[in-house]
């Protein structure tokens, strides 16, 4: 297990990475970084504009640079975008510089949670169910491989999921980051 002072939240769209990340960061005194917000700030464009003008490959390059910048610091909690795990270099960086938390959500729960969401470029299609299932098939093995702790968020409201995460992180991650008694 990685004893880093950083946390990285990975998982599918709609798993709660941002909402839970803010709460957990506050609880542990970490600086919260929403990777999509950082990407937009560094690029001077929205995520949708980056996808439109550069395509997914161009967006992923921006994502990798922003992730490297975010994890150059200590004491941060980074909520990644769902596809940040696709690049091997990102996976290596996450495991080297952070304790990685996999927030899992089922495709059915994603469909329900994202029913009104129109902000995600990869979901601007009529076959959202199929797109989400395809993404899950490709990405879920990567999430499972990287996650040092996994929480299934399907059955929790945000406050309950936060409480579960805090308990599990206190038991696993904080034990790793505490100095050994002299």
Which residues carry a binding-site annotation?
A: 14-19, 36, 60, 120, 139
Residue numbering of the annotated binding site for substrate: 36, 60, 139
CA distance 46 to 132: 22
Residues of the binding site for ATP? 14-19, 120
Q: 9: closest CA among 21, 24, 1?
A: 21
Residues annotated in the binding site for Mg(2+), as ranges? 18
- Tell me phi and psi for residue 53, to 5 degrees: -90, -30
Dihedrals φ, ψ of 7, to 5°? -120, 145
Inter-CA distances, 90 with 54, 71, 95, 146, Å: 19, 10, 9, 11
């Amino acid at each position: 297990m990685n004893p880093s002072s950083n946390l990285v939240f990975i998982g599918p769209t709609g798993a709660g990475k941002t909402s839970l990340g803010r709460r957990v960061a506050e609880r542990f005194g970490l600086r919260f970084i929403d990777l999509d917000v950082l990407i937009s700030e560094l690029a001077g464009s929205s995520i949708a504009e980056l996808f439109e003008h550069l395509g997914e490959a161009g967006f992923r390059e921006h994502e990798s640079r922003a992730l490297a910048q975010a994890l150059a610091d200590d004491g941060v909690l980074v909520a990644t975008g769902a596809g940040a795990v696709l690049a091997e270099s990102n996976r290596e960086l996450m495991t080297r510089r952070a304790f990685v938390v996999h927030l899992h959500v089922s495709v059915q729960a994603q469909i329900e949670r994202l029913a009104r969401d129109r902000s995600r470029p990869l979901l601007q299609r009529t076959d959202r169910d199929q797109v989400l299932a395809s993404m899950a098939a490709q990405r879920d093995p990567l999430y499972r491989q990287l996650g040092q702790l996994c929480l299934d968020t399907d059955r929790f409201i945000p406050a309950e999921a936060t409480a579960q995460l805090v308990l599990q992180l206190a038991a696993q991650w904080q034990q790793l980051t505490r100095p050994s008694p002299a």
